[in-house]
Amino acid sequence: MTDQLSAAMAAVREQLGRPVTRPLGPVSERTAQRFAIATSDDSQVYFDRDAARDAGYPDLPVPPLYLSSVREWGAGPAPEELQPDGTTTTDVGLPTGVPVRVLGGGQTLAFADEIVVGVPVTAEFTVTDVRRRPGTAGDLLVVEVRRTYTDVDGRTLLDCTESRVLR
């Protein structure tokens, strides 16, 4: 496992400081509403345009945690692009070609601006740190990734810093 973890660390270090930009496209009305329902947020601002406008939104807003929660806006990766634990092999901050188990280590979110349905979103992902830590069952890697979401005008919507634990 030590050699595998060393290989994973080397692979992630190659990504350090290299931003990856992905145009995600607009969040659809249906997707935003499904997310609101799934997170038990029944506020009418997500379902009724008049309620949204009365609350000061130009259109139906997207629930605030949507951007940081959804990993893939399309159909998702093909089965051969998944690791045994179901995580993708193509996500920023994960080592390609080195099988590891991935756990979420937490997020820090800075909400900068509201997002409404139909507005195209772009994400920029940057690995900001990778370090080896001792764990009770052996060493692990802690990877820090910054995800910044912007609209078509370059206005920041959300800044998310997340930790991932790799074993």
How does strand 156-166 pair with strand 20-26? unpaired
Q: Residue 49 corresponds to which amino acid?
A: R
- Domains recognised in the chain with CATH numbers: 2-166 (3.10.129.10)
| pLDDT tens, position by position, 49-60 | 999 999 999 999
118 CB-near residues (< 8 Å, 6+ apart): 26, 27, 28, 29, 59
Structure tokens at 152: 């078509």
Any idea which residue has 């991935």 for tokens? 102
| pLDDT tens, position by position, 107-161 | 999 999 999 999 999 999 999 999 999 988 889 999 999 999 999 999 999 999 9
